[in-house]
Structure 1
Amino acid sequence: MGSSYKVKDYGGLYIDATGAKWNWFSKDTGGGPIQFVMEMEGKNWVDAVYTLLGTEKSDFTPRPEPIDDEKGPFVLPDKNDTYKHVIAYLIQSRGIDKEVVYDFISQDKLYENTHRRCVFVGYDEKHEPKYASVRSTNTRGNCYRGDVKNSDKAFPFSYEGSSTTVCVFESPIDLMSYLTLLKYHGIKSLEHHMIALGGVAERALDYYLKLHPEINR
Protein backbone atom coordinates (compact mmCIF):
# COMPACT_ATOMS: atom_id res chain seq x y z
CA MET A 1 0.00 0.00 0.00
CA GLY A 2 1.99 2.97 -1.28
CA SER A 3 5.03 3.54 0.92
CA SER A 4 3.74 1.23 3.67
CA TYR A 5 4.45 -2.42 4.40
CA LYS A 6 1.75 -4.95 5.24
CA VAL A 7 2.58 -7.29 8.12
CA LYS A 8 1.66 -10.87 7.20
CA ASP A 9 -0.93 -12.69 9.32
CA TYR A 10 -1.94 -9.55 11.25
CA GLY A 11 -5.11 -8.68 9.34
CA GLY A 12 -4.64 -5.21 7.90
CA LEU A 13 -1.59 -4.07 9.89
CA TYR A 14 0.46 -1.62 7.86
CA ILE A 15 3.72 0.05 8.92
CA ASP A 16 4.92 3.22 7.22
CA ALA A 17 8.21 2.88 5.33
CA THR A 18 9.81 5.43 7.67
CA GLY A 19 8.87 3.37 10.72
CA ALA A 20 7.38 6.47 12.31
CA LYS A 21 3.73 5.45 12.15
CA TRP A 22 1.46 2.44 11.69
CA ASN A 23 -2.20 1.58 11.16
CA TRP A 24 -4.08 -1.58 12.05
CA PHE A 25 -7.22 -1.15 9.99
CA SER A 26 -9.03 -4.25 11.23
CA LYS A 27 -8.76 -2.92 14.80
CA ASP A 28 -9.22 0.73 13.85
CA THR A 29 -6.08 1.75 15.72
CA GLY A 30 -2.64 3.13 14.98
CA GLY A 31 -0.02 5.64 16.06
CA GLY A 32 3.72 5.90 16.49
CA PRO A 33 6.45 3.62 17.89
CA ILE A 34 5.32 4.00 21.51
CA GLN A 35 1.73 3.06 20.71
CA PHE A 36 3.01 0.13 18.62
CA VAL A 37 4.89 -1.36 21.58
CA MET A 38 1.88 -0.76 23.82
CA GLU A 39 -0.40 -2.61 21.39
CA MET A 40 1.90 -5.50 20.50
CA GLU A 41 3.35 -6.16 23.96
CA GLY A 42 0.44 -5.06 26.14
CA LYS A 43 2.52 -2.46 27.98
CA ASN A 44 1.55 0.88 29.43
CA TRP A 45 3.01 4.13 28.08
CA VAL A 46 5.88 4.35 30.59
CA ASP A 47 7.00 0.74 30.11
CA ALA A 48 6.79 1.14 26.33
CA VAL A 49 9.14 4.12 26.50
CA TYR A 50 11.66 2.14 28.56
CA THR A 51 11.44 -0.69 26.02
CA LEU A 52 12.25 1.68 23.16
CA LEU A 53 15.13 3.13 25.19
CA GLY A 54 16.46 -0.38 25.67
CA THR A 55 16.63 -0.11 29.44
CA GLU A 56 14.75 -1.13 32.56
CA LYS A 57 13.19 1.28 35.03
CA SER A 58 15.79 0.45 37.66
CA ASP A 59 18.61 1.20 35.20
CA PHE A 60 17.26 4.53 34.04
CA THR A 61 18.93 7.58 35.57
CA PRO A 62 17.21 10.88 34.80
CA ARG A 63 19.28 13.97 34.14
CA PRO A 64 19.91 15.66 37.50
CA GLU A 65 18.23 18.97 38.16
CA PRO A 66 20.61 21.94 38.21
CA ILE A 67 21.69 22.93 41.70
CA ASP A 68 20.83 26.50 42.56
CA ASP A 69 24.14 26.98 44.38
CA GLU A 70 25.97 26.56 41.08
CA LYS A 71 24.23 29.59 39.62
CA GLY A 72 26.15 32.08 41.70
CA PRO A 73 24.84 34.85 43.95
CA PHE A 74 21.80 36.93 43.13
CA VAL A 75 22.56 40.65 43.22
CA LEU A 76 20.01 43.40 42.68
CA PRO A 77 20.92 46.10 40.14
CA ASP A 78 22.24 49.35 41.59
CA LYS A 79 19.59 51.91 42.46
CA ASN A 80 19.39 55.26 40.76
CA ASP A 81 19.26 58.39 42.90
CA THR A 82 15.77 59.13 41.58
CA TYR A 83 12.47 57.40 40.81
CA LYS A 84 11.22 59.97 38.33
CA HIS A 85 11.64 57.90 35.15
CA VAL A 86 9.90 54.87 36.66
CA ILE A 87 7.10 57.00 38.08
CA ALA A 88 6.58 58.87 34.81
CA TYR A 89 6.55 55.67 32.78
CA LEU A 90 4.18 53.70 34.99
CA ILE A 91 1.75 56.52 35.80
CA GLN A 92 1.76 58.61 32.63
CA SER A 93 2.61 56.05 29.93
CA ARG A 94 1.01 52.90 31.38
CA GLY A 95 -1.83 54.53 33.31
CA ILE A 96 -1.04 52.86 36.64
CA ASP A 97 -2.65 54.49 39.66
CA LYS A 98 -0.26 56.74 41.59
CA GLU A 99 -1.05 55.15 44.96
CA VAL A 100 -0.39 51.68 43.54
CA VAL A 101 3.03 52.75 42.26
CA TYR A 102 4.04 54.48 45.49
CA ASP A 103 2.81 51.54 47.57
CA PHE A 104 5.16 49.12 45.81
CA ILE A 105 8.02 51.63 46.04
CA SER A 106 7.48 51.96 49.80
CA GLN A 107 7.70 48.15 50.13
CA ASP A 108 11.01 48.05 48.19
CA LYS A 109 9.32 45.92 45.54
CA LEU A 110 9.81 48.56 42.86
CA TYR A 111 12.65 50.96 42.13
CA GLU A 112 14.66 52.58 39.34
CA ASN A 113 18.13 51.33 38.43
CA THR A 114 21.04 53.36 37.09
CA HIS A 115 19.91 52.65 33.52
CA ARG A 116 16.59 54.39 34.26
CA ARG A 117 14.70 51.11 34.09
CA CYS A 118 11.96 49.64 36.27
CA VAL A 119 13.09 46.90 38.64
CA PHE A 120 10.36 44.65 40.09
CA VAL A 121 11.52 42.57 43.07
CA GLY A 122 10.35 39.27 44.55
CA TYR A 123 11.21 38.23 48.11
CA ASP A 124 11.37 35.02 50.11
CA GLU A 125 9.64 34.45 53.46
CA LYS A 126 12.54 36.20 55.25
CA HIS A 127 12.06 39.26 53.04
CA GLU A 128 15.34 38.67 51.28
CA PRO A 129 15.32 39.53 47.55
CA LYS A 130 15.51 36.43 45.35
CA TYR A 131 14.08 37.56 42.03
CA ALA A 132 13.96 40.72 39.94
CA SER A 133 12.72 41.59 36.48
CA VAL A 134 13.78 44.69 34.60
CA ARG A 135 11.87 46.75 32.07
CA SER A 136 12.83 49.84 30.09
CA THR A 137 10.97 53.08 30.72
CA ASN A 138 11.36 54.36 27.16
CA THR A 139 8.25 54.45 24.98
CA ARG A 140 10.10 54.63 21.66
CA GLY A 141 12.76 52.49 20.06
CA ASN A 142 13.97 49.21 21.49
CA CYS A 143 12.47 48.12 24.80
CA TYR A 144 14.51 45.98 27.17
CA ARG A 145 12.78 43.31 29.26
CA GLY A 146 14.51 40.55 31.17
CA ASP A 147 15.29 38.92 34.49
CA VAL A 148 18.30 39.83 36.60
CA LYS A 149 21.05 37.20 36.45
CA ASN A 150 20.59 34.31 38.90
CA SER A 151 17.00 35.28 39.66
CA ASP A 152 14.82 32.52 41.08
CA LYS A 153 11.34 32.59 39.53
CA ALA A 154 9.95 30.72 42.54
CA PHE A 155 9.78 34.04 44.41
CA PRO A 156 7.28 36.29 42.65
CA PHE A 157 6.60 40.00 42.60
CA SER A 158 3.49 40.05 44.76
CA TYR A 159 0.71 41.92 46.50
CA GLU A 160 0.01 40.42 49.92
CA GLY A 161 -3.69 39.92 50.56
CA SER A 162 -5.79 38.61 53.42
CA SER A 163 -8.42 36.47 51.68
CA THR A 164 -8.34 32.83 50.59
CA THR A 165 -8.03 33.77 46.90
CA VAL A 166 -4.94 34.41 44.79
CA CYS A 167 -5.00 36.20 41.43
CA VAL A 168 -2.23 35.20 39.03
CA PHE A 169 -0.69 37.45 36.37
CA GLU A 170 2.04 37.06 33.80
CA SER A 171 3.92 40.30 34.55
CA PRO A 172 4.22 42.88 37.36
CA ILE A 173 2.65 45.58 35.18
CA ASP A 174 -0.36 43.33 34.54
CA LEU A 175 -0.77 42.96 38.30
CA MET A 176 -0.46 46.71 38.88
CA SER A 177 -2.93 47.41 36.07
CA TYR A 178 -5.47 45.11 37.73
CA LEU A 179 -5.06 46.93 41.05
CA THR A 180 -5.59 50.19 39.17
CA LEU A 181 -8.83 48.90 37.62
CA LEU A 182 -10.13 47.86 41.03
CA LYS A 183 -9.46 51.33 42.40
CA TYR A 184 -11.01 52.91 39.30
CA HIS A 185 -14.23 50.99 39.94
CA GLY A 186 -14.30 52.09 43.57
CA ILE A 187 -13.20 48.80 45.12
CA LYS A 188 -11.19 50.01 48.09
CA SER A 189 -10.87 46.74 49.98
CA LEU A 190 -8.19 44.87 48.05
CA GLU A 191 -8.24 41.60 49.97
CA HIS A 192 -7.05 39.07 47.41
CA HIS A 193 -3.45 37.92 47.09
CA MET A 194 -1.84 38.72 43.74
CA ILE A 195 1.35 37.40 42.16
CA ALA A 196 3.17 37.88 38.86
CA LEU A 197 4.79 34.72 37.50
CA GLY A 198 7.35 36.56 35.39
CA GLY A 199 6.19 34.49 32.42
CA VAL A 200 4.03 31.37 32.36
CA ALA A 201 5.98 28.98 34.60
CA GLU A 202 4.13 27.80 37.72
CA ARG A 203 7.03 27.66 40.21
CA ALA A 204 6.06 30.99 41.74
CA LEU A 205 2.48 29.85 42.28
CA ASP A 206 3.63 26.59 43.89
CA TYR A 207 5.84 28.50 46.32
CA TYR A 208 3.19 31.07 47.16
CA LEU A 209 0.57 28.41 47.88
CA LYS A 210 2.95 26.65 50.26
CA LEU A 211 3.61 29.98 51.97
CA HIS A 212 -0.13 30.67 52.26
CA PRO A 213 -1.92 27.35 52.92
CA GLU A 214 -5.15 29.24 53.62
CA ILE A 215 -5.56 29.96 49.89
CA ASN A 216 -8.10 27.63 48.31
CA ARG A 217 -8.92 29.30 45.01
Structure 2
Amino acid sequence: MTTEIKKTYRHFTDEEIQRANSVDLIDLARQYGFQLEKGGRKAMHAKQSGGLYIFKDSNRFYHWTADEKGGPIDFVMKYGNASYQEAVAMLLGERYESYIRESVTYVKEEKGEVILPDKAENFKRVYWYLISIRGIDSQIVSVLMNEKKIYQEGKYGNCVFVGYDETGTAKYCSMRGTYGSKPFKMDAVNSDKSYPFVIEGKGNHLFVCESPIDAMSHATLAGMFKKDWKDDHRISLGCVWDGALERYLSWHPEINKIVFALDNDYLARDKDDNYRNWGQLAARKWCDKYNEMGYDVAIHKPHLKDFNQDLLGIRGGKTPADLDTIRENELRLAFEKDAVDENSLEEFEL
Protein backbone atom coordinates (compact mmCIF):
# COMPACT_ATOMS: atom_id res chain seq x y z
CA MET A 1 0.00 0.00 0.00
CA THR A 2 1.26 3.48 -0.78
CA THR A 3 0.19 6.79 0.71
CA GLU A 4 -0.22 10.05 -1.16
CA ILE A 5 -1.21 13.52 0.02
CA LYS A 6 -4.38 14.88 -1.51
CA LYS A 7 -4.96 18.66 -1.35
CA THR A 8 -8.06 20.70 -2.03
CA TYR A 9 -7.97 24.26 -3.33
CA ARG A 10 -10.01 27.41 -3.11
CA HIS A 11 -12.58 27.64 -5.91
CA PHE A 12 -12.22 30.71 -8.13
CA THR A 13 -15.43 32.58 -8.84
CA ASP A 14 -16.55 33.35 -12.38
CA GLU A 15 -15.85 37.02 -11.67
CA GLU A 16 -12.27 36.26 -10.58
CA ILE A 17 -11.65 34.13 -13.66
CA GLN A 18 -13.05 36.90 -15.86
CA ARG A 19 -10.76 39.45 -14.19
CA ALA A 20 -7.75 37.17 -14.71
CA ASN A 21 -8.62 36.77 -18.39
CA SER A 22 -9.05 40.54 -18.74
CA VAL A 23 -5.38 41.29 -18.07
CA ASP A 24 -3.89 42.94 -21.17
CA LEU A 25 -2.24 40.13 -23.10
CA ILE A 26 0.11 42.41 -25.04
CA ASP A 27 1.51 43.87 -21.82
CA LEU A 28 1.70 40.37 -20.36
CA ALA A 29 3.68 39.07 -23.35
CA ARG A 30 6.17 41.92 -22.98
CA GLN A 31 6.55 41.08 -19.29
CA TYR A 32 7.50 37.57 -20.37
CA GLY A 33 10.24 39.00 -22.56
CA PHE A 34 8.63 38.76 -26.00
CA GLN A 35 9.53 41.42 -28.55
CA LEU A 36 6.36 42.31 -30.44
CA GLU A 37 5.91 43.64 -33.95
CA LYS A 38 2.89 44.27 -36.16
CA GLY A 39 1.57 40.95 -37.42
CA GLY A 40 -1.56 41.91 -39.30
CA ARG A 41 -4.35 44.46 -39.14
CA LYS A 42 -5.42 43.41 -35.64
CA ALA A 43 -2.56 41.26 -34.41
CA MET A 44 0.93 41.52 -32.94
CA HIS A 45 3.62 38.96 -33.75
CA ALA A 46 6.25 37.86 -31.21
CA LYS A 47 9.68 37.75 -32.82
CA GLN A 48 11.58 34.42 -32.77
CA SER A 49 8.62 32.68 -31.15
CA GLY A 50 7.81 30.03 -33.73
CA GLY A 51 4.54 31.71 -34.74
CA LEU A 52 3.05 33.41 -31.67
CA TYR A 53 0.36 35.99 -32.55
CA ILE A 54 -1.63 38.14 -30.13
CA PHE A 55 -4.98 39.60 -31.18
CA LYS A 56 -5.69 43.05 -29.75
CA ASP A 57 -9.48 43.10 -29.95
CA SER A 58 -10.15 39.67 -28.46
CA ASN A 59 -7.20 39.72 -26.00
CA ARG A 60 -6.27 36.20 -27.10
CA PHE A 61 -3.19 34.53 -28.56
CA TYR A 62 -2.53 31.86 -31.16
CA HIS A 63 0.71 29.89 -31.54
CA TRP A 64 0.85 28.51 -35.05
CA THR A 65 3.51 25.80 -34.81
CA ALA A 66 2.10 24.43 -31.54
CA ASP A 67 -1.55 24.65 -32.68
CA GLU A 68 -2.49 26.35 -29.40
CA LYS A 69 -4.56 29.39 -28.54
CA GLY A 70 -6.23 30.98 -25.54
CA GLY A 71 -6.47 33.97 -23.25
CA PRO A 72 -4.22 35.33 -20.49
CA ILE A 73 -4.76 32.31 -18.20
CA ASP A 74 -3.71 29.90 -20.96
CA PHE A 75 -0.78 32.17 -21.81
CA VAL A 76 0.59 32.05 -18.25
CA MET A 77 0.05 28.28 -18.09
CA LYS A 78 2.03 27.83 -21.31
CA TYR A 79 4.82 30.38 -20.95
CA GLY A 80 4.98 30.53 -17.17
CA ASN A 81 4.91 26.73 -16.74
CA ALA A 82 2.04 27.16 -14.27
CA SER A 83 -0.99 25.14 -13.29
CA TYR A 84 -4.46 26.58 -13.84
CA GLN A 85 -4.75 27.66 -10.19
CA GLU A 86 -1.28 29.21 -10.23
CA ALA A 87 -2.00 31.11 -13.44
CA VAL A 88 -5.25 32.61 -12.15
CA ALA A 89 -3.57 33.56 -8.88
CA MET A 90 -0.65 35.24 -10.66
CA LEU A 91 -2.96 37.27 -12.87
CA LEU A 92 -4.98 38.36 -9.84
CA GLY A 93 -1.75 39.38 -8.11
CA GLU A 94 -2.27 36.92 -5.28
CA ARG A 95 -0.23 34.07 -3.81
CA TYR A 96 -1.18 30.61 -4.98
CA GLU A 97 -0.04 29.00 -1.72
CA SER A 98 -2.89 30.72 0.14
CA TYR A 99 -5.40 28.51 -1.70
CA ILE A 100 -4.31 25.28 0.01
CA ARG A 101 -7.05 24.58 2.54
CA GLU A 102 -6.33 21.17 3.99
CA SER A 103 -4.40 17.98 3.57
CA VAL A 104 -5.93 14.54 3.88
CA THR A 105 -4.36 11.13 3.65
CA TYR A 106 -5.27 9.04 0.63
CA VAL A 107 -4.44 5.33 0.61
CA LYS A 108 -3.91 3.93 -2.86
CA GLU A 109 -5.44 0.52 -3.42
CA GLU A 110 -3.27 -2.16 -5.01
CA LYS A 111 -4.66 -3.73 -8.20
CA GLY A 112 -5.47 -7.40 -8.37
CA GLU A 113 -4.66 -9.62 -11.34
CA VAL A 114 -5.83 -8.28 -14.68
CA ILE A 115 -8.93 -10.12 -15.89
CA LEU A 116 -8.42 -11.03 -19.56
CA PRO A 117 -11.52 -11.65 -21.72
CA ASP A 118 -12.03 -15.13 -23.15
CA LYS A 119 -10.46 -15.87 -26.53
CA ALA A 120 -12.43 -16.67 -29.66
CA GLU A 121 -11.88 -19.98 -31.45
CA ASN A 122 -10.15 -18.08 -34.24
CA PHE A 123 -8.98 -14.50 -34.74
CA LYS A 124 -10.23 -14.00 -38.28
CA ARG A 125 -12.32 -10.91 -37.63
CA VAL A 126 -9.57 -9.08 -35.72
CA TYR A 127 -7.01 -10.09 -38.35
CA TRP A 128 -9.30 -8.70 -41.08
CA TYR A 129 -10.03 -5.52 -39.07
CA LEU A 130 -6.39 -4.65 -38.42
CA ILE A 131 -5.24 -5.36 -41.98
CA SER A 132 -8.21 -4.31 -44.13
CA ILE A 133 -9.72 -1.51 -42.03
CA ARG A 134 -6.65 -0.19 -40.21
CA GLY A 135 -4.15 -0.83 -43.01
CA ILE A 136 -1.58 -2.54 -40.77
CA ASP A 137 1.00 -4.85 -42.33
CA SER A 138 -0.10 -8.50 -42.12
CA GLN A 139 3.34 -9.67 -40.94
CA ILE A 140 3.22 -7.31 -37.97
CA VAL A 141 -0.25 -8.53 -37.01
CA SER A 142 0.80 -12.19 -37.32
CA VAL A 143 3.94 -11.71 -35.23
CA LEU A 144 2.03 -9.98 -32.43
CA MET A 145 -0.73 -12.60 -32.47
CA ASN A 146 1.89 -15.35 -32.20
CA GLU A 147 3.39 -13.48 -29.24
CA LYS A 148 -0.08 -13.46 -27.62
CA LYS A 149 -0.13 -9.66 -27.56
CA ILE A 150 -3.22 -9.48 -29.80
CA TYR A 151 -6.23 -11.76 -29.95
CA GLN A 152 -9.97 -11.77 -30.60
CA GLU A 153 -12.46 -11.72 -27.76
CA GLY A 154 -14.84 -14.65 -27.84
CA LYS A 155 -18.20 -13.07 -27.00
CA TYR A 156 -18.18 -9.78 -28.95
CA GLY A 157 -15.27 -10.13 -31.39
CA ASN A 158 -13.39 -7.17 -29.89
CA CYS A 159 -9.71 -6.70 -30.60
CA VAL A 160 -7.72 -7.35 -27.41
CA PHE A 161 -4.25 -5.86 -26.79
CA VAL A 162 -2.13 -7.25 -23.93
CA GLY A 163 0.94 -5.90 -22.14
CA TYR A 164 3.14 -8.15 -19.99
CA ASP A 165 5.64 -7.76 -17.19
CA GLU A 166 9.24 -8.97 -17.47
CA THR A 167 8.22 -12.48 -16.36
CA GLY A 168 5.56 -12.82 -19.08
CA THR A 169 2.57 -12.23 -16.79
CA ALA A 170 -0.26 -10.18 -18.31
CA LYS A 171 -0.63 -6.83 -16.57
CA TYR A 172 -2.28 -4.53 -19.11
CA CYS A 173 -5.25 -5.22 -21.38
CA SER A 174 -7.28 -2.88 -23.57
CA MET A 175 -10.16 -3.80 -25.84
CA ARG A 176 -11.36 -2.10 -29.00
CA GLY A 177 -14.48 -2.91 -30.99
CA THR A 178 -14.27 -3.89 -34.63
CA TYR A 179 -17.77 -2.68 -35.61
CA GLY A 180 -19.30 0.73 -36.27
CA SER A 181 -18.04 4.26 -36.81
CA LYS A 182 -17.54 4.78 -33.05
CA PRO A 183 -16.17 1.45 -31.85
CA PHE A 184 -16.24 0.24 -28.26
CA LYS A 185 -13.14 1.04 -26.16
CA MET A 186 -12.39 -0.25 -22.68
CA ASP A 187 -9.57 -1.45 -20.46
CA ALA A 188 -9.99 -4.79 -18.70
CA VAL A 189 -10.61 -4.95 -14.96
CA ASN A 190 -7.37 -4.35 -13.00
CA SER A 191 -5.50 -3.35 -16.16
CA ASP A 192 -2.32 -1.49 -15.18
CA LYS A 193 -1.25 1.27 -17.57
CA SER A 194 2.27 1.31 -16.15
CA TYR A 195 2.90 -1.80 -18.30
CA PRO A 196 3.18 -1.02 -22.03
CA PHE A 197 1.95 -2.80 -25.11
CA VAL A 198 5.26 -3.70 -26.77
CA ILE A 199 6.62 -4.27 -30.26
CA GLU A 200 10.05 -5.49 -29.28
CA GLY A 201 13.08 -4.19 -31.18
CA LYS A 202 16.75 -5.08 -31.38
CA GLY A 203 18.57 -1.76 -31.15
CA ASN A 204 18.90 1.24 -28.86
CA HIS A 205 16.10 3.27 -30.45
CA LEU A 206 12.59 3.53 -28.96
CA PHE A 207 9.43 5.03 -30.48
CA VAL A 208 6.71 5.97 -27.99
CA CYS A 209 3.07 5.98 -29.20
CA GLU A 210 -0.27 6.51 -27.49
CA SER A 211 -2.17 3.38 -28.60
CA PRO A 212 -1.35 -0.13 -29.85
CA ILE A 213 -2.85 0.70 -33.27
CA ASP A 214 -0.64 3.81 -33.45
CA ALA A 215 2.44 1.71 -32.66
CA MET A 216 1.54 -0.90 -35.30
CA SER A 217 0.76 1.83 -37.84
CA HIS A 218 4.13 3.50 -37.17
CA ALA A 219 5.89 0.16 -37.68
CA THR A 220 3.94 -0.39 -40.92
CA LEU A 221 4.93 3.04 -42.25
CA ALA A 222 8.58 2.26 -41.44
CA GLY A 223 8.35 -0.86 -43.60
CA MET A 224 6.65 1.04 -46.42
CA PHE A 225 9.53 3.53 -46.42
CA LYS A 226 12.14 0.77 -46.73
CA LYS A 227 13.08 0.44 -43.07
CA ASP A 228 13.05 -2.79 -41.07
CA TRP A 229 10.28 -2.35 -38.50
CA LYS A 230 11.90 -5.06 -36.33
CA ASP A 231 15.04 -2.99 -35.73
CA ASP A 232 13.50 -0.46 -33.36
CA HIS A 233 11.50 -0.78 -30.16
CA ARG A 234 7.94 0.57 -30.12
CA ILE A 235 5.60 0.85 -27.17
CA SER A 236 2.15 2.29 -26.59
CA LEU A 237 1.22 4.02 -23.36
CA GLY A 238 -2.56 3.68 -23.59
CA CYS A 239 -2.80 7.36 -22.60
CA VAL A 240 -0.63 10.47 -22.21
CA TRP A 241 1.14 9.33 -19.03
CA ASP A 242 4.72 8.10 -19.14
CA GLY A 243 4.59 5.44 -16.42
CA ALA A 244 4.84 2.65 -18.99
CA LEU A 245 7.80 4.38 -20.63
CA GLU A 246 9.68 4.58 -17.34
CA ARG A 247 9.08 0.88 -16.77
CA TYR A 248 10.17 -0.14 -20.27
CA LEU A 249 13.39 1.87 -19.99
CA SER A 250 14.16 0.08 -16.73
CA TRP A 251 13.94 -3.20 -18.65
CA HIS A 252 16.16 -1.96 -21.50
CA PRO A 253 19.21 -0.02 -20.29
CA GLU A 254 20.66 -0.25 -23.81
CA ILE A 255 18.10 2.24 -25.12
CA ASN A 256 19.61 5.72 -25.40
CA LYS A 257 17.35 7.44 -27.94
CA ILE A 258 13.63 8.10 -27.48
CA VAL A 259 11.34 9.43 -30.21
CA PHE A 260 7.89 10.59 -29.08
CA ALA A 261 5.44 9.64 -31.83
CA LEU A 262 2.34 10.92 -30.04
CA ASP A 263 -0.92 12.19 -31.50
CA ASN A 264 -1.18 15.55 -33.24
CA ASP A 265 -4.38 16.77 -31.57
CA TYR A 266 -4.55 19.98 -33.58
CA LEU A 267 -8.35 20.26 -33.36
CA ALA A 268 -8.73 19.13 -29.74
CA ARG A 269 -10.20 21.51 -27.18
CA ASP A 270 -10.20 21.68 -23.41
CA LYS A 271 -13.18 22.15 -21.11
CA ASP A 272 -13.13 25.89 -21.82
CA ASP A 273 -13.28 25.28 -25.58
CA ASN A 274 -9.67 26.40 -26.11
CA TYR A 275 -7.45 24.49 -28.52
CA ARG A 276 -5.16 22.12 -26.67
CA ASN A 277 -2.85 19.77 -28.57
CA TRP A 278 -2.55 17.24 -25.76
CA GLY A 279 -0.27 14.80 -27.57
CA GLN A 280 2.28 17.40 -28.61
CA LEU A 281 2.18 19.14 -25.23
CA ALA A 282 3.07 15.81 -23.63
CA ALA A 283 5.79 15.16 -26.22
CA ARG A 284 7.51 18.47 -25.51
CA LYS A 285 7.22 18.02 -21.75
CA TRP A 286 8.72 14.53 -21.92
CA CYS A 287 11.49 15.64 -24.25
CA ASP A 288 12.62 18.02 -21.51
CA LYS A 289 12.30 15.36 -18.83
CA TYR A 290 14.16 12.56 -20.60
CA ASN A 291 16.79 14.83 -22.10
CA GLU A 292 17.70 15.87 -18.55
CA MET A 293 17.98 12.16 -17.72
CA GLY A 294 20.63 11.78 -20.45
CA TYR A 295 18.60 10.36 -23.35
CA ASP A 296 18.74 11.65 -26.91
CA VAL A 297 15.17 12.74 -27.63
CA ALA A 298 13.14 13.75 -30.67
CA ILE A 299 9.51 14.23 -31.74
CA HIS A 300 7.93 12.50 -34.74
CA LYS A 301 4.62 14.29 -35.29
CA PRO A 302 2.02 12.74 -37.59
CA HIS A 303 0.71 14.87 -40.44
CA LEU A 304 -2.90 14.19 -39.39
CA LYS A 305 -4.23 13.32 -35.93
CA ASP A 306 -2.33 10.06 -35.55
CA PHE A 307 -0.15 7.63 -37.48
CA ASN A 308 -3.06 5.38 -38.39
CA GLN A 309 -4.75 8.27 -40.20
CA ASP A 310 -1.42 8.97 -41.95
CA LEU A 311 -1.10 5.30 -42.88
CA LEU A 312 -4.61 5.09 -44.33
CA GLY A 313 -4.06 8.30 -46.28
CA ILE A 314 -0.81 7.02 -47.80
CA ARG A 315 -2.37 3.65 -48.61
CA GLY A 316 -5.10 5.64 -50.35
CA GLY A 317 -2.54 7.24 -52.65
CA LYS A 318 -1.93 10.50 -50.81
CA THR A 319 1.55 11.97 -50.33
CA PRO A 320 2.81 13.52 -47.08
CA ALA A 321 2.28 16.92 -48.73
CA ASP A 322 -1.35 15.95 -49.42
CA LEU A 323 -1.79 15.07 -45.74
CA ASP A 324 -0.38 18.45 -44.73
CA THR A 325 -2.90 20.14 -47.02
CA ILE A 326 -5.75 18.18 -45.41
CA ARG A 327 -4.61 19.29 -41.95
CA GLU A 328 -4.23 22.92 -43.01
CA ASN A 329 -7.70 22.93 -44.57
CA GLU A 330 -9.20 21.45 -41.40
CA LEU A 331 -7.48 24.15 -39.35
CA ARG A 332 -8.65 26.89 -41.71
CA LEU A 333 -12.24 25.70 -41.45
CA ALA A 334 -11.96 25.63 -37.67
CA PHE A 335 -10.54 29.15 -37.62
CA GLU A 336 -13.32 30.40 -39.87
CA LYS A 337 -15.88 28.81 -37.60
CA ASP A 338 -14.26 30.57 -34.65
CA ALA A 339 -14.34 33.87 -36.58
CA VAL A 340 -10.57 34.35 -36.54
CA ASP A 341 -9.61 37.61 -38.26
CA GLU A 342 -8.88 36.74 -41.91
CA ASN A 343 -6.17 39.39 -42.36
CA SER A 344 -4.31 38.04 -39.34
CA LEU A 345 -4.80 34.48 -40.55
CA GLU A 346 -2.81 35.27 -43.70
CA GLU A 347 0.20 36.03 -41.51
CA PHE A 348 0.27 32.42 -40.34
CA GLU A 349 1.60 31.36 -43.79
CA LEU A 350 -0.47 28.22 -44.16
TM-score normalised by length of structure 1: 0.71
Off by >2 Å, runs of 4+ in structure 1 = 18-23, 30-37, 51-54, 60-65
In the other structure, the counterpart of 1:98 is 138
Residue 180 of structure 1 and its aligned partner are, at CA, apart by: 1.0
What's 2:254 paired with?
214
Show CA shifts across 1:131-178 (max 9, x none): 01101112x354101111110001111111122221011110111111
RMSD: 2.6
> Could you tell me which residue of structure 2 aligns to residue 177 of structure 1?
217
Of residues 77, 100, 109, the one that matches 1:67 is 109
CA separation in 2, counterparts of 1:126 and 1:62?
A: 37
Residues in 1 aligned to 2:133 and 2:201: alpha-carbon distance in whole angstroms = 27
CA distance in 2, matches of 1:189, 1:178: 9
Distance 1:75 1:19, change over 3 A: closer
Superposition deviation, residue 64 in structure 1 = 2.7
Choose from 156, 170, 173 the match for 1:129.
170
Change (3 A) 1:31 1:125: closer
Q: How does 1:189-208 map to 2 (within 5 A)?
A: 190-208=230-248
Counterpart Cα distance in 1 of 2:177 and 2:88: 48
Paired with 2:135 and 2:187, the residues of 1 have a C-alpha distance of 23
Q: Secondary structure at 1:154's aligned position in 2?
A: coil
**Which residue of structure 2 aligns with residue 15 of structure 1?**
none
Distance 1:137 1:52, change over 3 A: closer
Q: Which aligned pairs between 1:163-174 and structure 2 lie closer than 5 A?
A: 163-174=203-214
Structure 1 residue 188: Cα displacement: 2.5
User: What is the CA-CA distance between 1:87 and the residue it aligns to?
Assistant: 0.6
Match of 1:111 among 151, 156, 160: 151
More helix by share: 2
Residue correspondence of structure 1 range 5-154 to structure 2 within 5 A: 32=89, 36-37=94-95, 49=97, 51-53=98-100, 61=103, 63-68=105-110, 71-114=111-154, 115-138=156-179, 140-154=180-194
Identical amino acids, percent of aligned pairs: 36
Please report the TM-score for the alignment, with normalisation by the length of structure 2: 0.46
SS of residue paired to 1:32:
helix
Is the CA contact 2:126–2:158 (under 8 Å) kept in the aligned structure 1? Answer: yes
Against the structure 1 CA distance between its residues 198 and 53, is the aligned structure 2 distance closer, same or farther, given a 3 Å change threshold? Answer: closer
**Aligned partners of 1:82 and 1:213: how far apart in 2?**
37
SS, match of residue 139 in structure 2: helix
Offset of residue 201 of structure 1: 1.4
What is the deviation of 1:186?
2.2
| Alpha-carbon spacing, 1:52–1:126, altered in 2? closer, same or farther (3 Å) | same
**Aligned mates of 2:135, 2:100 — CA distance in 1:** 55
1:32 counterpart letter in structure 2: A
Give a deviation string over 1:111-136, Cα, whole Å, max 9, x none: 00111110000000111000011011
What is the match of residue 158 of structure 1?
A: 198
Larger gyration radius, structure 1 or structure 2: 1
Unaligned runs of 5+ in 2: 1-14, 24-30, 32-86, 258-350
